[in-house]
Structure 1
Amino acid sequence: MEENDVIRALASLAQSHRLRIFRLLVVAGQQGLTPGALGEALALPAATLSFHLKELSQAGLLSQQRLGRNLVYRAAFEQMNGLLAYLSENCCQGEACLPMQAKPCC
Structure 2
Amino acid sequence: MEKKSALTAFAALSQETRLDVFRLLIEAGESGLVAGDIAETLNVKQNTLSANLSVLLNAGLVKNQREGRTIRYFANTEGLQGLLGFLLEDCCGGRPDLCQPLIANVTCASKET
Normalising by structure 1, we get a TM-score of: 0.91
1:14 partnered with 2:14:
yes
In structure 1, the residue matched to 2:73 is 73
Identity %: 44
Number of positions where the alignment pairs a residue of Structure 1 with one of Structure 2: 101
Note the 1:1-106 alignment, pairs <5 A.
1-96=1-96, 97-99=99-101
CA distance in 2, matches of 1:100, 1:22: 21
CA distance in 2, matches of 1:57, 1:33: 14
* Paired residue type of 1:37: D
Question: What 5-or-longer segments of structure 1 have no aligned partner?
Answer: 102-106
Question: What is the root-mean-square deviation in Å for CA atoms of aligned residues?
Answer: 1.3
CA distance in 2, matches of 1:25, 1:59: 15
Cα deviation, residue 69, structure 1:
2.0
Normalising by structure 2, we get a TM-score of: 0.85
SS of the counterpart of 1:98?
A: helix
Large movers: runs of 4+ above 6 Å: none
Q: CA 1:100/1:54 → structure 2, altered by over 3 Å: closer, same or farther?
A: closer
Question: What 5-or-longer segments of structure 2 have no aligned partner?
Answer: 104-113
Cα deviation, residue 100, structure 1:
6.0
SS of the counterpart of 1:60?
A: coil
Instruction: Point out the structure with the larger helix share.
Output: 2
CA distance in 2, matches of 1:89, 1:35: 34
